[in-house]
Structure 1
Amino acid sequence: MSLGEYFELLFTDYTLGVITLGTAVLGAVTGMLGSFAVLRKQSLLGDAISHAALPGIALAFLFTGAKDSNVLLIGALISGLLGAFWIRGMVKNTHLKSDTALGLVLSLFFGLGMLLLTYIQKLPNANQAGLDKYLFGQAATLVAQDVWIMVAITAVSLFILLLFWKEFKLLLFDADYTKTLGFNTRFIDSLITFFIVIAIVIGLQTVGVVLMSAMLLAPAAAARQWTNTLTVMLGLAAFFAAFSGVYGTAISATQSNLSTGPVIVLVAAFFVLISFVFSPGRGLLFREIRFQKNRRELELKKTLQFMYSIAKTHEDISHPHAVKILNNFQGFTKKTLQQMVDKKWVTLNGAMWSMTALGYEEAENLYSQT
């Protein structure tokens, strides 16, 4: 099946529609909330929380003996929140840095989760569990109920985001100032962390524990390259992530033996690559273009200063001089000379050049600035 055929079936095939809508909604909410993690410089938080959710999934299965996705995700939510606030507690009450606390929680919880999964595999009903799917995700297991839960969580997240929009912005860019204004920064910070945990947990079934952090951070990192405005960044991150979900699902469905979660992450990574190279403000390509432009401008002005030092030795600044004199200056090229002619800084008559009043004034200004 080709991509064109897939998108034709999208509106007629119920299963394809549910899965695609689910990945799109998941992408929108994770991209939007992931922006806060990126701006708060807590990129590893998503990785730690997603790995911390694994023992919660395993314990929920052990306690209930069923693989009901809602029950398993509640276990993941509790475990993820425990990991998130454990990280905060270690950073606040000990001398550990945040990266150390994140690494400790990630390795400890993930190790416990893998131990529990190994234990579950030896149980008589291990074949009914399918918990290993939560490691790398399996979008094909999404049903309409899962999608409606994602839609509800997205709606609640948007409502809370609008309700506390001013507080969130203040906390992101100046936590100390937010505190001096009388806002409860601990509550606001906990609220952001809570919704980031929820976004991670609802994506575990689709993308998996191992790759969920990339789904959370990649669209936000890509969006950050295009704008300095928080509202625009949230919108772009949601769009990049939703598109990654839809297109990644399409590629996975049209190709055999391709897991949906990794493909979605690779599409999101493509957005990151394009953004890092081609974004006008921060992209590597435009940065190099600006660097070369500034370098040429600097060489042009240095050449003008050299010509000024020659012209001012005569009472008449328009006194002609031989072009070959400029060959002694390292930054001189025929192109820079022509550019100065175009700017009307000098005039050129055969093999002789003369400085104009405009060029003389420009050179004097350069000297006064240095």
Structure 2
Amino acid sequence: MDGTFILLQDYTFQTVALGSALLGMISGVLGSFAVLRKQSLLGDGVSHSALPGVVIAFILLGSKNSEILLLGALISGLLSTLFIITIVRHSRIKFDSALALVMSVFFGLGLVLLTYVQKLPNSNQAGLKRFIFGQASTLLQRDIILMGICGTLLLALVLLFWKEFKLFTFDSDFAHSLGFSPKRLNLLLSFMIVLAIIIGLQTVGVILMSAMLVTPAVAARQWTNKLWVMVTLSAFLGAISGAVGTAASSLVPKLPTGPAIVVCISAILIISVLFAPGRGILHRLYRRRKNRILYKLEGGMPNDPAN
């Protein structure tokens, strides 16, 4: 108990926990729309495609400043998203195939460039690998401020375009008939998802970022059919997972923060899938068994000698 109290007062823990909670909240909100639009894999593709942007930004500017590297990742992620949208729109290639193609090309290019940078005769390139697996312990106050600014901007856009996003997510044809442009809404929402992914790379890395985007939304979807409830619950679950995962990594020696956060939200997902009323597996089995019993009772009544 004393160890937990001391941990809560530690400045480093407060910084990392706040950053992880902000990431979980932002990912939960934007991930809800990605899941409902059946574009859950977009987070995986964009996060992997951001790697070459990080390395190219370092090669061109020779700086490991987080803002510069994340700007390079943002440009690379936006380019990959535009490539995916263009391929799907102007060819017969399906979304999942286009995403896999672009993701593999960008991620392969990123690994090649990273290998090249590591062979340079200086040590300034050390630390770039943290964008692959994440390293939440390196978060600084300025990183939290950047995440807060970007998160506030993204949440403000969600509130501002709530009606449009809701119509576009569930019925794009109806939204188009009302005068809304599905192409522009798709580009805006995709840009917001990309930005949410980029700001989380330093915390969980390109490999686990897709889990942060999708898992809270899928878990929240099991508990409700209302969009605003799902978005709110997804943001809450993401924030709680970020804080709890950070605490677990601080209390358990050599436990990395990013994987701990993902394991935490995955545990919440398993509980939701099993026990959620209506959609939960156990609830469905119970309802099916109850209906089977009622059917047998009703079917046996005409043959009952008492009748």
| TM-score, normalising length: structure 2 | 0.97
Cα displacement (A) at 1:5: 4.5
How big is the shift at 1:184?
1.5
SS of 2:230's partner is: helix
Partner amino acid, structure 1, of 2:232? G
C-alpha distance in structure 2 between counterparts of 1:27 and 1:139, whole Å:
13
Classify 1:80/1:5 alpha carbon distance in 2 versus 1 (closer, same or farther; 3 Å): farther
**Equivalent of 1:31, from 3, 28, 32?**
28
Residue 102, structure 1, aligned to residue 102, structure 2: no
The corresponding residue for 1:113 is 110
Does residue 65 (structure 1) correspond to residue 62 (structure 2)? The answer is yes
8 Å CA contact retained: 1:29, 1:154? yes
Structure 2 residue aligned with 1:350: none
1:206 aligns with 2:206: no
Counterpart residue identity of residue 75, structure 1: G
- The Cα of 1:126 is off from its aligned counterpart by 3.8
Matched, 1:79 2:90: no
Cα deviation 1:200-256 (Å, max 9, x = unaligned): 000000000011001110010100000000000011111111111111111111112
**1:233 lines up with 2:230 in the alignment:** yes
Worse overlay, 249-258 or 168-177: 249-258
Aligned equivalents of 2:3 and 2:128: distance in 1? 29
Q: Distance in 2 between matches of 1:258 and 1:156?
A: 32
Out of 38, 42, 49, the residue aligned to residue 45 of structure 1 is 42
Higher helix share: 2
> 1:47 touches 1:212 (CA, 8 Å); kept in 2?
yes
1:159 alignment partner, one of 156, 160, 178: 156
Report the CA distance shift for 1:158/1:119 in structure 2 as closer, same or farther (over 3 A): same
The AA in structure 1 aligned to 2:192 is F
Contact 1:66 1:129 in 2 (8 A): no
Equivalenced residue count is: 307
Corresponding residue number in structure 1 for 2:275: 278
Three-state SS of the structure 2 residue aligned to 1:129 is coil
- Which string of whole-angstrom CA distances, capped at 9 and with x for unpartnered residues, describes residues 146-205 of structure 1? 111111111111111111111000000000111111111111111110110011000000
| Residue identity matched to 2:122 | N
C-alpha distance in structure 2 between counterparts of 1:39 and 1:106, whole Å: 22
Q: For residues 63 and 146 of structure 1, what CA distance do their matches in structure 2 show?
A: 22
TM-score (structure 1 length as normaliser):
0.81
Work out whether residues 154 and 192 of structure 2, in 8 Å CA contact, stay in contact via their aligned partners in 1.
yes
Residues 231 and 10 (structure 1), Cα distance of their counterparts in 2 relative to 1, 3 Å cut? farther
Q: Which residue of 2 aligns with 1:55?
A: 52
Q: Is it true that 1:20 corresponds to 2:17 in the alignment?
A: yes
SS at match of 1:206: helix
Q: Does 1:195 align with 2:196?
A: no
What are the superposed Cα offsets for residues 86-128 of structure 1, whole Å, 9 maximum, x if unpaired? 1000000011000100000110000000000000100123454
- 5+ residue gaps, structure 1, are 308-320, 322-353, 356-370
Contact residue 117 and residue 125 of structure 2 kept, 8 A: no
Q: How much has 1:10 moved relative to structure 2?
A: 4.7
- Distance in 2 of aligned mates of 1:178 and 1:205: 36
Q: Is the 8 A contact 1:248 1:267 kept in 2?
A: yes
Partner of 1:302: 299
Could you tell me which residue of structure 2 aligns to residue 170 of structure 1? 167
Q: 1:221 aligns with which of 211, 218, 232?
A: 218
Q: Identity of aligned pairs, percent?
A: 52
| d(CA) in 2 for partners of 1:9, 1:47 | 37
Q: CA deviation at 1:7?
A: 4.2
**Greater gyration radius:** 1
Q: Kindly tell me: are residues 306 and 226 of structure 1, through their superposed partners in 2, closer, same or farther at Cα, counting changes over 3 Å?
A: same
What is the distance in 1 between the residues matched to 2:236 and 2:178?
Answer: 34
What secondary structure, in the 3-state scheme, does the structure 2 residue paired with 1:207 have? helix
Q: Deviations over 1:277-309 (max 9, x none)?
A: 0000100000000000000000000001323xx
Separation in 2, partners of 1:270, 1:17: 23
In structure 2, distance between residues paired with 1:71 and 1:63: 10
CA distance in 2, matches of 1:65, 1:153: 25
Aligned to 1:42, the other structure's residue is in SS state coil
Measure the CA separation in 1 of the matches of 2:137 and 2:276: 34
